[in-house]
Structure 1
C-alpha cells in the first residue's frame, strides 16, 4: 500500500493543483514547489496517519523535508530533486545540497532526476561525456559525503533520438548519507 509519493515534472499550474491533488490524493497532505517554479516541478503527497512531514527548504529544483514515519517513530531527511536542464542552472542545486549536508544530523535520502550524468560510463551513444559535464555533480556528491544507492532495472533512465543515433543517459539517482547507512 502506498502512503508516500513524490512526483516530478508535473507541469500543473497553481490554479489546477488543488483540484487535481484532491482527486488523486483525497485525504492526503501535500507540498509542492509552485511558489518557487510556475510549473510546480515537485510534489510530495502522504497519508498523515503514516507520516508527519515538515518542509525545511523549497527551491525550483529541490524540496527537502524532515519526515517521521509514525508507526516506527523513524526520523529522516528527504530531498526530492528535479534539476534544471543546464549546467549553469544546476550550480544552484549543488550549492543548496552542500549547504543542507553541512547542517544535516539525521539520516538523509536524496533522490530524483538530477539531469546530469555522474561518470563517463553513464551515457551511451552521442558524444563522449566531457569532464566539464560531470565535475560539478561529482564535487557535490563528494563534498556532501553521499553514497549512491544502487538501483534495479534499466541502467539508463533517459533517452533521446531514434535509430542509429539514439542516446541513453543515467540521470536519475538515489543517494544516502553515512548517518543513514549507520542507523536505518
Structure 2
C-alpha cells in the first residue's frame, strides 16, 4: 500500500459543502494521511467521523480553533501509520510513529503559522525547539503563511485549492 499525503487549508469546515469537498478530495487522491489547516472547528461532528471511517481514516488528532480562527485536524489510516505519541500545540500537531510502508519511525507535522511577523518568529522558534528534540525523519505539511517573493502573494486567498497531494 502506498502512502499518499494530502495537506489543505480549508478556510473553515463549518459548512456541509466543505466536508463533501474534503471527502471527494480524499476519495479521488486515495489519501491515507491528511492534514487540514484553518478548520475553524473544535471537534468533528459524528456524521463527519462516520464519513471519514468509510474512507479508511479512523484516527484523528485535533488542535482546536481559537474562536473563529485557526484549528488543525490530522487524519491517518492506521494501516499506513501507527501513532506512538503526539504533541498538540495551538498551531501544530506532531505525530510520532511507524510509517508502515517503509517500516520506519517518523514524525508527521501539521502546521498553521500565524500571519503576523512577530508571532511568526515565535512560532518558528517554538516549533524548531520541538522538532530538535526528535531524532528521526520528518514529514511536514501545512500552511506556513510565508512566501519566497512578493509576486507569490498575487491572487492569494482567491481559491480554496489543495496545498499538495504527495505519494511516498
Report the TM-score range of the alignment, normalised by the length of the smaller protein: 0.5 to 0.7
Name stretches of at least 5 consecutive residues in structure 1 with no aligned partner: 125-155, 163-171, 174-183
Q: Provide the aligned length of Structure 1 versus Structure 2.
A: 128
2:45 paired residue number: 18
Offset at 1:113?
A: 0.9
State whether residues 36 and 142 of structure 2, in contact with CA within 8 Å, keep that contact through their aligned partners in structure 1: no
For the 8 Å contact 1:42–1:63, the answer to whether it is kept is yes
- Give the TM-score normalised by structure 2: 0.63
Tell me which residue corresponds to 1:45.
75
Describe the shift of the 1:99–1:18 C-alpha distance in structure 2 as closer, same or farther (beyond 3 A). same
The residue aligned with 1:31 is 61
For 1:66, the equivalent position in structure 2 comes to: 96
1:18 & 1:97 partners in 2: Cα distance? 29
Q: Residue 4 in 1 paired to residue 33 in 2?
A: yes
1:80–1:110 CA contact under 8 A, matched in 2: yes
Higher relative contact order (CA 8 A, sep 6+): 2
Unmatched runs of 5 consecutive residues or more in structure 2: 1-29
Q: Which residue in 2 is equivalent to 1:159?
A: 155
> How far, CA to CA, are the matches of 1:161 and 1:19 in structure 2?
30
Map residues 67-106 of structure 1 onto 2, 5 A cutoff. Answer: 67-106=97-136
Mean alpha-carbon deviation: is it higher for 53-62 or for 73-82? 53-62
State whether residues 59 and 77 of structure 2, in contact with CA within 8 Å, keep that contact through their aligned partners in structure 1.
Answer: yes
Q: Which has the larger radius of gyration?
A: 1
Q: Give the superposed CA RMSD.
A: 2.9
- In 2, Cα distance between the equivalents of 1:74 and 1:50? 11
